[in-house]
Every structure is written in C-alpha cells, then in structure tokens.
A and B are shown apart, each in its own frame.
Chain A
Amino acid sequence: MKKKNLSKLFAYTVLIIVSIIFVFPVFWMVRTALSTPSDVFNRNLNLLPSSYEFNNYKRAFESAPFVKFFLNTAFITIVNIASTLFTSSLCAFGFSRIEWPGRDRVFGILMTALMVPYAVLIIPHFVGFSALGMTDTFLPLLLPILLGGGLFNIFLLRQFFMGIPKELDEAATIDGASLWQIYRLIIIPLSKQSLIVVLLLTFLLNWNDYMAPLIYLSSEKNFTLMLGLNQFIGGYSSQWELLMAAATIVVLPSMIVYMLAQRHFVEGIAMTGIKG
C-alpha cells in the first residue's frame, strides 16, 4: 500500500511539473504583452511585470487591421467546415453504404494519397491557380476542400458509417426511401458525434493554417490572422511586448473554442487513434 502511494506521489510530481512547463509559454506571452519595454529588457528575473501596460494591445490593433484578419480567417474557416462536413460525409457514404463494383479498390487507391506530402502538390497547385488568376483570392484555400473535404475525414467517417447496422438501410429501402433520404435521414443523424470530431479537426486545420495562406495571399486586405502575426515577426522583431500582444490576439479565439469544446476535442482525437 505504501509503495502505491509513493508511486502516485511521483506521478503527481512529474505531471504537475510538466503541466507548469506546458502552460508557461501562454503565461509568458500574456505577461510580456502587459510589460513596458524597460521591463522586457531587464536582465533580472521577474516573473510578474513591475507595472501593467494595457496600451500594447491598443498599439498592436493600431499597427495592423486585426479585426479584418479575424473576419477573413473566420470566413475561410466557416466555409471550409461547411464544405468538409457535406462532401466528406457524402463520399464516406458512397464508400460504406452503397455496394458498387470496385468500391474498395478505388478507396484503397485514394488512401495512398494520404502519404503524398503537401510540399509535392503545392508547386503545381500554385502554378494552376496562378494560371487561372486565382492567387490573392480565397479560392485556392477553399476549392480543394470542396472537392472531397480531405481524405482523412472521409476515412474517419467511413469507419463510423460502417459501424451502423445495415438493417436500417434495408428497412428504409423497403419503405421506398432513396439513397439520398437514407443519407440525410438515417446516417447523418446517427453520426453527429463523429461529425463533431471532423468539425473540430477542420477548425484547427484551417484556423491555424500557415503555409497555404503564406503562398496564396499577398495583399494585406486578404491576410489571415497567421499572416498578420507573420508580418509582426518580420517587422517588429525586437519589440517583444508588441509581438506578444499580437500573438495573444491570434491565440485567443482558438483558446476560447478549446475551453468551450475541450471534451469533444480530446475525445475526438482519441477516437482518430483508436479507429485508425
């Protein structure tokens, strides 16, 4: 019994220390964002600032149109969530609830694309979108999602759909339901849990995306939050209090979403591992 308590004590100690280290960057970001420049360049160790400077946020908002960046990011993310949910569930339905010759072989070929690095595709994508005159618009960030909604999501939803008893479809067919009705009225309502997982994964992927906006968006009016922050990294490299204020603005929306839906996030991620 004593030994068990000792090992638990050890576990708590490690977990608490690691937790502090994991949270520390967020604390330090907020702390720096509230500091004066003299506080930032102080050689002594002060965990709390000597005075609180809320002006840094005002200055950050003045030096870049963060509200516009926020709206751009929100627009891209919402459109992509909607198209991902719709097209990936539609395709997953076609790969799990309809029996057609060659289905599983076609699915297997598609899944090999999961191994293809984005870096291999980004050059031809850029060339293609440039030829169509679509660079510096949101289209290159939206169109690939509309067509398929990401292979991983299709894989995930297919796994869930295959777990739903076939008898439901058969009974509905006998009652004269079309495939579209089976999809719409049986499969989708029964898969809410997995659709929430796909929604949250898509949110993270799009909200935090860095490389694609960096490649396609060039004028400031089209920037996402990540590109706004990127501008700060290049332009204000020694004004740490300002950079950290900008980082706080960028981090805050994700943190709010996480706090609201923490359980779904964590359980959803766990599911991707177990089902995959």
Chain B
Amino acid sequence: MDDDIQMNQNTLMQKKRIKKRLVQGLLFTSPVLIGYLVFVFIPLVFTVFISFTDFSIGAAKTKFVGLENYMDMFTGKDIYFWPSVKATMFYVFGSVPISIVFAFIIANLLNMKIRGRSFFRGIFFMPMVIPLAAGCSIWVWMLQPDFGIVNKLLDFFHLPTSTWLTSDKTVIVTFIVISLWITGTAIVIFLAGLQQIPDYLYEAADIDGGTAWHKFTRITIPMSSPIIFFNLVVGLINAFQTFVQTAVLTPAANHVIMGQPNNAGLLYVPYIFTKAFTFSEMGSASASALILLLVISSITFLVFKLQKYFVYYEGGK
C-alpha cells in the first residue's frame, strides 16, 4: 500500500518535472518558434494560396485563376520563364562545379606547407568581405568592351578579347568567371578540412612508395569528401538564388528589365523579383517562386541520397 502511494507520488513528481522543462524549453526557444510561424510557415501558406490567384498589391480585386499562372510559365505565355530557366541552369551547372574544383586546387596548394599561407588565405577571402553589389560594379567597369582594363590587358598579351556582358552569348560565361572571384568561403573551408587530415596517412603512403598523385586521389580526395559534399550543397543552394549579379552586372534601365541583352542574364530569382516588384504580378511571381522551392528541395534531396556513393565517412558515418 505504502509503496503504491510512494510510486504514484514519484511518477506525479516526474510528470510535473517534465512539464516544467517543456515550458522552460518552449520559453527559451519562443523567439524562433514565433519567428518560424510568422516569417516562414504563414508566408509559405500565403504564397501557395496566392499562386492560384491574380493577386497584386495595388489591385482592387483578386480573382481565383486556378492553374493559369503555372500554365502561363510552361506554355511560354510568360515570355521570361524559359529564358530565365535556361540562364539559371547554365549558370548553376557551370559555376558550381568549376568553382568547387578551383577552390579545392587553391586549398591544396595552400596546404603544401607554404610560407605566407595565412597571407594568401587572407587575400583569397577578401572578395567575400567586399559588398557584392560594389564588387560587381567594379567588374562592369573592368569588363567594358572598349575602355575596360580586362580587354586592354588581353589585347596586350595578344589573347582574344570578349564582348563579356554586352552580348547574350557571353553574359553567363562572364557570370561564371566572376563567380570564381567569390570562392573565398569554399577555399577557407576546404583548407580547414585538409588541415584535419592526419599526417600519418601520408607518411604511411610515403613508406609504401606512393606517388603524389596516389596520395591525392587515395587520401586527400576521400578524406575531403564530406567537405566537398558540404560545399556542393551550399554552392548549389546559393547559386540557384543568385540575385545581385543580374541586378548589377546587367542592370535594369529605362523601361528595360534587368538581365539583358536578350534576357540571357536573367537568372531565376531576378526573374521572380521583376515579376513581383516591377510588373506587380505577385500571384504569378509566387507560382514561379514555388517552382524554385520545389527545384531546390528536390536537388538537395537528390544530393543527400547520392551522398552514400561518393562521400567517405571515417568509421562508417
């Protein structure tokens, strides 16, 4: 009898304690819980809802239009959709692999017990600190076909010059070239990863007579694969959301939207931005934005699924 009462009291106390901790936990995390509700969850629901309407912030009435916003994109009635998809795919699948390879090579060179390593590292990271809009405005000037320094220098070294940002054929290539200038974050993260690879692995390879190439492909790459993976995911998510490049490198002018010539520089987020805030077609812009959400989450999901084939985790994860 006594034991029973004792036990009941114990479980009651425990329940009380758990409840107290729940209240405390919710209290401490309440800013982000409220923030998630107000700034993520409700907005998402709202976006889904207005993507089926012709909602616009100035308009008097909002009409339900069903799937029309979505149809307009795929059928090409919205003339900017396919050009921006094309530009974005070209940019994302060009810039992400190239900048990861570039950053990985630079990080490996820096990891060669080089003098002045932190000096070089500081230089490579510097463009990340420069406001991107300001950095891009410098590039616009440097890449001017006639008076820009880049063509002058290329000409001086008897190399072919380019039309850079002024032709629809070279705009995205130019974006990709500039994206190499802002790989500082990836370089720093790669270098930190390389420095964590234990020396004894390389020493063991030396004893076994492994060449530098062997060491690179059999030790460096597998040991860095989790970080390559990290930079890949972050790089993809960021590249899909590029905005400043289009807005500053190919700016909007009087009655002409950004991303010209020929919409070749109109990446996807600038396309959404233009629809929402220049044309005031917020319903239709929301439909475009949801497609971006779908694409980014599917690619992230896919990359995570593929992870087990090419990422090596020490001790099996």
Binding site for B on A (CB under 8 A): 7-8, 11-12, 14-15, 18-19, 21-23, 25-26, 28-29, 32, 40-45, 87-88, 90-91, 93-95, 98-103, 106, 110, 113, 115-128, 130, 144, 146-149, 151, 154, 179, 183, 204, 207-208, 210-211, 214-215, 225-226, 229-230, 232-234, 240, 243-244, 247, 250-251, 254-255, 257-258, 262-263, 265-266, 269-274, 276
Contact = CB atoms under 8 A, between A and B. Distances in A.
Contact of A120 (B38, B44, B134, B193): B44
A185 B264 CA distance: 56
Contacts of A247: 134, 137-138
B114 interface: yes
Interface in B56-115: 57, 106, 109-110, 112, 114
B46 A130 contact: no
13 contacts: A87-B31, A100-B18, A110-B33, A115-B293, A121-B44, A124-B50, A210-B131, A225-B131, A226-B134, A230-B133, A269-B128, A269-B189, A273-B230
Contacts of A250: 131, 133-134
Given A120-B293, A146-B31, A270-B189, A251 B130 contact: yes
Given A98-B24, A257-B129, A270-B189, A151 B32 contact: yes
Interface of B: 18, 21-22, 24-29, 31-36, 38-40, 42-44, 46-47, 50, 57, 106, 109-110, 112, 114, 118, 120-135, 137-142, 144, 146-147, 149, 152-153, 155-156, 181, 185, 188-193, 196, 212, 227, 230-231, 237, 240-241, 243-244, 247-248, 251-253, 268-269, 272-273, 276-277, 282, 285-286, 289-290, 292-293, 296-297, 300
B248 to A, nearest CB: 6
B39 A101 contact: no
Nearest to B212: A7
Contacts of A234: 251-253
Contacts of A116: 40, 44, 293
A91 B227 contact: no
Contacts of A265: 125, 129
A215 B133 contact: no
Contact of B248 (A7, A233, A244): A233
Contacts of B27: 94
A210 B244 CA distance: 7
Contacts of A11: 109, 112, 114
A15 B120 contact: yes
Contact of B237 (A41, A115, A230): A115
B179 to A, nearest CB: 13
B315 to A, nearest CB: 16
A87 B276 CA distance: 31
Contacts of A87: 31-32
A116 B243 CA distance: 15
A8 B289 CA distance: 48
B292 A15 contact: no
Contact of A147 (B24, B31, B193, B253): B31
Contact of A22 (B18, B43, B181): B181
A15 B124 CA distance: 9
B31 A115 contact: no
A32 to B, nearest CB: 7
A121 B273 CA distance: 11
Contacts of B289: 117, 119-120, 123
Contacts of A263: 118
A123 B276 contact: yes
B124 A22 contact: yes
Contact of B127 (A22, A148, A276): A22
Given A94-B25, A124-B42, A257-B129, A101 B285 contact: no
Contact of B141 (A44, A230, A244): A244
Given A19-B120, A110-B32, A273-B189, 9 more contacts: A32-B141, A91-B28, A94-B29, A98-B24, A127-B46, A146-B31, A147-B39, A226-B133, A276-B230
Contacts of B141: 28, 32, 240, 243-244
B188 A270 contact: yes
A40 B147 CA distance: 7
A127 B282 contact: yes
B40 A121 contact: yes
Contacts of A273: 188-190, 192-193, 227, 230-231
Contacts of A95: 29
Q: B32, B121, B285 — which one has the most chain A CB atoms within 10 A of its CB?
A: B32
Contacts of A44: 152
B185 A98 contact: no
Contacts of B128: 204, 269
A7 B188 contact: no
Given A120-B293, A234-B251, A113 B193 contact: no
A21 B139 CA distance: 12
Contacts of A214: 247
B35 A123 contact: no
Nearest to B43: A124
A102 B22 CA distance: 9
Contacts of A130: 57
Contacts of A146: 31, 35
B214 to A, nearest CB: 14
Contacts of B290: 120
